[in-house]
Structure 1
Amino acid sequence: MNKSNSVLTFAICLAASTTAHAQRAASLSSDLHEISNLAKVRKSVFLKAPHLAALRKNMFFTAPSDDKALYWVYGSNDYREIPSFVTTDNVLQIYHTFFESTLRGVEEKALLPELRKLTHDMVLQAEKTYRAQKGTPLAKPALKNLAYFAVADRLLNDGARAPDTARGLVDLELGKIQGATGRQRSSIFPYDLDYSQFIVRGHYSRTPALKQYFKGMMWYGLVPFSVAQRKGHTVTPLSEQIQQALLLADDLKASKSEGRWRRIYGATALFAGKSDNLTPQEWKAAASRVFKRTSDYGKPALLKTFATAVSKLRPASIVPKLKDGTNPSEVQLRFMGQRAIPDSMILQTLCDPDKRPFPSPLDVMAVLGSPQAKSILDAHPSVYNPKGWRPYRSERNRLQAAFANRSQSDWSRDLYSSWLDSLRATIASPPRNYPKFMRSDAWGKKSLYTALASWAELRHDTILYGKQSNAEMGDGEEPVTVKGYVEPNVAFYRRMLALMHQTAGGLKARGFLSNQVADNFIEANKLIAFLSSVSDKELAGKRLTKDEHNRIRFIEGELESANVEIMKTATGYNTLTEDDLDMALVADVHTAYGKALTVAVGRADHLFAVVPIDGKLFLARGSTLSYFEFLVPSSQRMTDEAWKKQLNAGKIPARPDWTKAFYVPLRVKTKSD
């Protein structure tokens, strides 16, 4: 905690207790005698030779643990009088908990009832339209629209029945959805759909209601009404699907449910951004300039004119690179389209069906500005570009330049983008007044690892909306005997405070912020502001007060409260199980050749670091996120439950090779009392 003036007098042997953080020794002696509390810490934990070697080399290391929550270690630190190192990982974890819990609460309490009513209204209106168009050229597209909404109705309501006229189409489509086996030709649309996307995952697997919401929204977000279809190099116009989309846009307005549609779309856009594809409103606006009446939808010349006009509207930013099968073209309407998330655009751009079918999560971090990610990618082409896709590096550099020039308004347009912006602060090159070990390449890689883990949480929380690329608190009156340290990333804490305010403001504007949830935000903001204030003092070489030291020592209670209380108030579940508190999660982020690129967060890692406190060096302990990436068959997309079961069985995947720079794969065991 107290970091101090002479934050570094690393070399006690030199007796030079300097007055700034910037002058810290580059290494420790072989016996580590500079660490004031090393002997005391070793009375509590077993530090093996590899751990000590890592301290000598980098002044820090991370090691695995079985902790299911990041804050657990801080209670142990207090009990064993080990200085606490409060990491940025803990703040990222708090935000993930706030994001997921509020989203889940909004979905289950507000959006699901709205979605069910919207869908029911659209079924009724589509049935009216079909009856009105029987015997006309628009009868078939009207029937398919009825089937389209009846499928959603069945997915959202166990007791729903499809209209007799569309039941055959509906039953065929539902069979493929429930099978979730992969890419197949749709029974309603003339192209292939990836039915494995209907495997319920993320937080949606937790309750029957959320499972229904997932499947219904996946249907609305995944299935396109396309202007044309592609097969190889052949592009075929799809007049019938254009007609379907035209009728759909009319039906939405006629059903008087557009306000309900906008409420659902607006709430989800707050979290994940705008649709990557055209909305019914955009489609209808374009149609009003071409067609005068519904019967005009059957005129080939006008359909051609409309197809040309609509093709000039905003293009999709995430366009799957699919070689085989029959696929929709880029210009599409989706009833509640999946979102144009920046990282999927990066992954999509940096893949190639033949030469680089699987991009790397490091691509995202390199484009966001991580020097370590860029270095790792370029130093190991046999791993990250094994087939030598030539445009890869130039395309990545182009994207990096584009993202570096993004305005702050672009970064703050939705919570998803703002979360990514906060990650940029964790991977940026640190200022010179940071402790020396935090300016090392090893620490840079550790920060990259943290960012990847937080990104995995972001993808997990928004797995339904993000368009996927394809190819015990202690006694506060106790005298201070143990001091601690806060990871002094001031820019990060400021961004996180802004993000918390943006989140609360967005929820309040839409009527989703209860007084209890608002109180949760206030308390979490107080904690983040405290960490920011302490960081400022550390970097300025100022001593912390007794109260500040005590707050860090007993911080487990605050961290636990920040994580647990929002889960209770936002979701309405007052009793939480051990599984609810388990931080492990998994998400698939890219699909190619029957495989899904999957990212995951596991159990907490423990971090040991030599930190400057009041002119001396201390060994402190904290917690960090753990991160994994691997491929699974797309027909077996992994759920949180399956991932936790795998971890509990000890089947832990290998970590990326570059983590050897800071990670010691040997637990630091605690000595028995």
Structure 2
Amino acid sequence: MPTWLVARRNQNNNGAFIMIKIKKKFLIASILSISIITNTLSACSFQNRTDENAAPFVSSESISSPLLSPEQDNNTQAQSTPSNISAGYFPDSRPLLITGGASVDTSSVVPCIKAYTINPDLSNISNLQQFYLTEEMAEKLARNGFVVQDRGCNEFFELYEINRYAQIPNFVTVDSLMHTYHLYFSYLLKNIERTYLKECMTQLSGHMLADSMAQYDRLKGSQWESAARRNVAFFAVGAKLLDENTEVPDYVKELAGRELESIAQATGNAMSELAENYEDYSQYIPRGYYEGDSSLEQYFKAMMWYGRIHFPQDKEDMNRSALLMIMALSKNQAAYDLWESAYVVTSFFAGASDDNGVCEYASAIRQIYGDSPTLDTLLEDENAFSKFQDLIALLPAPQINSIPIDDGEDNVIPGFRFMGQRFTIDGTIMQNLIYQRVGENSSGQRRMLPDVLDVPAALGSDMALRILEDAGAADYAGYSQNMDRLKQALSKDNEALWSASLYAGWLNTLRPLLTAKGEGYPVFMQNEEWLKKDLECFAGSFTELKHDTILYSKQVLAEMGGGEEEQDDRGYVEPEPLVYARFAFLADQTAQGLASYGMLTEDDKENLSRLSYIANQLLTISNKELTEELLTDEEYDFIRYYGGTIEHFWYETIKNEGASESISTQEYPAGVVVDIATDPNGQVLEAATDNPSSIYVVVQVDGKLKIAKGTVYSFYQFPWPLSDRLTDTKWRQMMGMVPDETGYYNFSFPLSKPDWTYSYRCDSP
């Protein structure tokens, strides 16, 4: 077995091993360095892997870079790919893990619903007597064909079950389906972190601490001593966060202790002696589903440490530390296997690292030092280290900055991270639409925090862009130009970009919501208010996505009695066939990816298959609705019992969480909060969802107009003090979803929803 890092290989039908070469492309604009990176997800490996144990591979040789000229493209490849790397050693890029296309052809379905008229007094609504409507609700229902009312229930499924007992037609929403995926996505990731990744990172930290201590003993007295000592402290902190019984060497006890104290206090920006830079220690507040679980809180803090602490290329001693880490991994196969396993599995969920890391630096080390460098090699050839620094300086910079910087400094700082936080499409969008990528506005103000609507606007939503411009975004110097470049780069269907991880696939599933619906669609979908409603669905699901991946995503800085007359309760599905097709693909790829890692239980396999089945049923029904084909009795029953169908997933994800046998939605409400961007001056941008709202929609079923009712997201975004990053518990107490420590429910609703949502809601700001 070679002592250096060998490429992960795939095996063909004849048993031969074939090197999979994947190009790493970047979308780079010449002004303000706007770029979208098509990252890949795996890592280099010590040994050959067979199909039985390896994740599926997708070649992306043909990925193009639309903002890059051929000369620039070639130069970028030359810079990011050290030469003379033989096929026997690991590649400089990482193969994709999800197979198959990210788009689904629905061109054969042409919407052809005949237009219908809603009387101003709603007199042609066949089931109007089933509802109590305020004057405001009735007016908006007649004008727009729908209206949204706050707080219908604690969880999405509840309203659908109430409808079934009350014989009210269900309106099945995209919101309810995406929320169900959020529940199961977070459940799967949490279980993997509990049962595998926590122990994996604990063992890895132990290996790296021991190996770093051995390096320090060998390098004392040399110019490598300081870098080696730093690594001992770095891994001592990580190991101590995961296992409080870790013994910290005396010579780094004070340094590591100060870092551990800062992490425990988590008060905000402070100078890190180890990183020799400011670190935002508020990031170490356990948030998302990590809050309240002591084991997961330990894992959260350690992974945040390994993902955030940066070894910048402009500091020689930091480069020495990074090189020594790679050297330690190259001599310890068990450690490398643990690192690779943790990186690949988390990348499958959240995406590839935004920073250069083990593979990129190891490739440069091999080119400069040869196949099997030793510590003696480093000591004997200091000139080689200078060449190494020159080579890594050519590696591409990260797309997202997460380090506090001063005005005038470069706002993307290249360097090394041991387990870097992940590239996200939305992160790159937001990074390019805040200061310093955009300048001051006419009043001298700086855009220090993005807006969630920046993301759908860059993905093509004219409505989102109009709302942003009305709020003054275009007044910031360079905002419109940067937005135009982002829209151009993201307008093309890039399969590799959208199928690079479950995170990307989730975002891709939401994209069809941003397309305006015209003639042939139901009347309620053809107005601007529906476009805004779809934006709130996008923002709500996006919030849940960020909530579930907060650790990995890199931040930008009642039952009723019988006896009544039977009602025609045949319901309706929100006709978004492309959303449902992509959702089915996403559920299938979730199962396929986990199976390839041996992490798919029979229960999870069955549940993911159910999710795919639900989406395919909704796809079939949507296509029938859009062509005015009458549904079968079985399909109407599917809509009628939809609440019980998705309730199954809610129960599956929380049944083992509580101490009591009884589980209620009041204990586990739908609302969540996540901080998605940081202003180093002392604020973060919080995105949040409240308990779901009710939507009333005028639909046409078998030639009759009726009101159908469903659940939709209730979205918020607001700035909040950096030192008090909100947890789900704090948010739910603030909004009266759960009682506080004294048992008191806060019903004061201290926050307002975004202004653009009130035009289709029945409540007033």
Q: Structure 2-normalised TM-score?
A: 0.78
Match of 1:277, SS? coil
Q: Distance between the aligned counterparts of 2:368 and 2:725, measured in 1?
A: 43
* 1:594 pairs with 2:682: yes
* 1:377 pairs with 2:458: no
Q: How does 1:370-409 map to 2 (within 5 A)?
A: 370-381=461-472, 384=473, 388-409=475-496
* 1:306 pairs with 2:396: no
Judge which range, 298-307 or 559-568, deviates more: 298-307
Match of 1:422 among 483, 488, 509: 509
Larger relative CO (CA 8 A, sep 6+): 1 or 2?
A: 1
Map of 2:375 onto structure 1: 294
Q: Distance between the aligned counterparts of 1:255 and 1:546, measured in 2?
A: 62
CA offset at residue 304 of structure 1? 3.3
Map of 2:228 onto structure 1: 142
* 1:241 pairs with 2:241: no
Is the contact made by 2:233 and 2:255 (CA closer than 8 Å) also made in structure 1?
A: yes
Match of 2:418 among 318, 321, 335: 335
* 1:366 pairs with 2:453: no
Q: How does 1:110-509 map to 2 (within 5 A)?
A: 110-228=196-314, 238-256=315-333, 257-291=335-369, 293-295=374-376, 297=378, 301-320=383-402, 322-324=404-406, 330-353=413-436, 355-381=446-472, 384=473, 388-430=475-517, 432-470=519-557, 481-509=568-596
CA-to-aligned-CA distance 1:36-73 (integer Å, 9 cap, x gap): 1112x13xxx3111101111210101010151101111
Match of 1:511 among 567, 592, 598: 598
Q: Distance between the aligned counterparts of 1:367 and 1:482, measured in 2?
A: 40
Cα gap change, 1:105/1:484 in structure 2, threshold over 3 Å: closer, same or farther?
Answer: same
Q: Distance between the aligned counterparts of 1:81 and 1:536, measured in 2?
A: 25
CA offset at residue 537 of structure 1? 1.1
Match of 1:598, SS? strand
Cα gap change, 1:569/1:531 in structure 2, threshold over 3 Å: closer, same or farther?
Answer: farther
Is the contact made by 2:187 and 2:653 (CA closer than 8 Å) also made in structure 1?
A: yes
Residue identity opposite 2:432 in structure 1:
T
> Among the aligned pairs, what percent are the same residue?
31
Residue identity opposite 1:611 in structure 2:
V
CA offset at residue 297 of structure 1? 4.3
Q: Distance between the aligned counterparts of 2:649 and 2:750, measured in 1?
A: 28
Cα gap change, 1:329/1:417 in structure 2, threshold over 3 Å: closer, same or farther?
Answer: closer
CA offset at residue 433 of structure 1? 2.2
Residue identity opposite 2:391 in structure 1:
A
Q: Distance between the aligned counterparts of 1:337 and 1:639, measured in 2?
A: 23
Q: How does 1:11-30 map to 2 (within 5 A)?
A: 21-25=112-116, 28-30=118-120
Q: Distance between the aligned counterparts of 1:113 and 1:474, measured in 2?
A: 49
CA offset at residue 302 of structure 1? 3.6
Is the contact made by 1:473 and 1:554 (CA closer than 8 Å) also made in structure 2?
A: no
Map of 1:73 onto structure 2: 159
CA offset at residue 619 of structure 1? 0.8
CA offset at residue 523 of structure 1? 1.7
Map of 2:613 onto structure 1: 526
Q: Distance between the aligned counterparts of 1:505 and 1:571, measured in 2?
A: 30
CA offset at residue 494 of structure 1? 0.2
CA offset at residue 83 of structure 1? 1.0
Cα gap change, 1:608/1:652 in structure 2, threshold over 3 Å: closer, same or farther?
Answer: farther
CA-to-aligned-CA distance 1:456-502 (integer Å, 9 cap, x gap): 000000000001000x8999xx9883211111111110000001111
Map of 2:631 onto structure 1: 544
Is the contact made by 1:191 and 1:327 (CA closer than 8 Å) also made in structure 2?
A: no
Residue identity opposite 2:760 in structure 1:
F
Q: Distance between the aligned counterparts of 1:363 and 1:327, measured in 2?
A: 23
Match of 1:661, SS? coil
Map of 2:146 onto structure 1: 60
Is the contact made by 1:36 and 1:618 (CA closer than 8 Å) also made in structure 2?
A: yes
CA offset at residue 622 of structure 1? 0.6
What do you get for the CA RMSD once the two structures are aligned? 2.5
Cα gap change, 1:550/1:480 in structure 2, threshold over 3 Å: closer, same or farther?
Answer: farther
Cα gap change, 1:654/1:328 in structure 2, threshold over 3 Å: closer, same or farther?
Answer: closer
Map of 2:81 onto structure 1: none
Q: Report the count of equivalent residues.
A: 628
CA offset at residue 205 of structure 1? 0.7
CA-to-aligned-CA distance 1:283-339 (integer Å, 9 cap, x gap): 122022223553564666443322221021232111358542999972211110000
Map of 1:9 onto structure 2: none
Match of 2:507, SS? helix
Map of 1:84 onto structure 2: 170
CA offset at residue 563 of structure 1? 2.8
Residue identity opposite 2:234 in structure 1:
Y
Q: Distance between the aligned counterparts of 2:541 and 2:623, measured in 1?
A: 24
Residue identity opposite 1:357 in structure 2:
M
Q: How does 1:497-646 map to 2 (within 5 A)?
A: 497-568=584-655, 576=663, 578=665, 581-592=668-679, 593-646=681-734
Q: Structure 1-normalised TM-score?
A: 0.89
Match of 1:189, SS? coil
Match of 2:708, SS? strand
Q: Distance between the aligned counterparts of 1:572 and 1:296, measured in 2?
A: 57
Is the contact made by 2:149 and 2:761 (CA closer than 8 Å) also made in structure 1?
A: yes
Residue identity opposite 1:37 in structure 2:
N
Residue identity opposite 1:638 in structure 2:
L
Match of 1:71, SS? helix
Match of 2:427, SS? helix
Is the contact made by 1:480 and 1:549 (CA closer than 8 Å) also made in structure 2?
A: no
Q: Distance between the aligned counterparts of 1:297 and 1:575, measured in 2?
A: 62
Q: Distance between the aligned counterparts of 2:630 and 2:258, measured in 1?
A: 70
CA offset at residue 126 of structure 1? 0.9
| Runs of 4 or more consecutive aligned structure 1 residues displaced over 4 Å after TM superposition | 295-301, 320-323, 325-329, 472-475, 566-580
Map of 1:13 onto structure 2: none
Q: Distance between the aligned counterparts of 2:576 and 2:703, measured in 1?
A: 20
Q: Which runs of 5+ in 1 are unaligned?
A: 1-18, 229-237, 668-673
Q: Which runs of 5+ in 2 are unaligned?
A: 1-109, 441-445, 737-745
Q: Distance between the aligned counterparts of 1:311 and 1:70, measured in 2?
A: 50
Residue identity opposite 1:594 in structure 2:
G
Map of 1:104 onto structure 2: 190
Map of 1:14 onto structure 2: none
Residue identity opposite 1:656 in structure 2:
P
Is the contact made by 2:587 and 2:609 (CA closer than 8 Å) also made in structure 1?
A: no
Match of 1:289, SS? helix
Q: Distance between the aligned counterparts of 1:105 and 1:466, measured in 2?
A: 19
Q: Distance between the aligned counterparts of 2:387 and 2:658, measured in 1?
A: 49
Cα gap change, 1:115/1:273 in structure 2, threshold over 3 Å: closer, same or farther?
Answer: same
Q: Distance between the aligned counterparts of 1:61 and 1:352, measured in 2?
A: 37
CA offset at residue 566 of structure 1? 4.4
Q: Distance between the aligned counterparts of 1:529 and 1:570, measured in 2?
A: 30
Is the contact made by 2:152 and 2:694 (CA closer than 8 Å) also made in structure 1?
A: no
Residue identity opposite 1:282 in structure 2:
E
Map of 2:753 onto structure 1: 655
Is the contact made by 1:125 and 1:254 (CA closer than 8 Å) also made in structure 2?
A: no
Match of 1:432, SS? coil
Match of 2:353, SS? coil
Match of 1:270, SS? helix
